[in-house]
Amino acid sequence: MTKQITTEELAKVNALNERYNKIYFELGQNTAQIKDYLKALEVLNTEADNLHKDYQHAKAEEEVLVATLNEKYGAGQLDLITGVITL
Residues 45/57, Cβ–Cβ less than 8 Å: no
Split at pLDDT 50, 70, 90, the class of 2 is very high
Arithmetic mean of pLDDT over the chain: 97
Domain with 52 in it = 7-86
Q: Is the residue at 71 inside a domain? A: yes
Is 2 inside a domain boundary?
no
pLDDT at 4: 97
Domains of the chain: total:
1
> Is 1 inside a domain boundary?
no
Q: What is the pLDDT of residue 65?
A: 97
57 within a domain of the structure (yes/no)? yes
Residue 64 belongs to a domain:
yes
Stated pTM of the model: 0.66
Residue 21 pLDDT class (50, 70, 90 cuts): very high
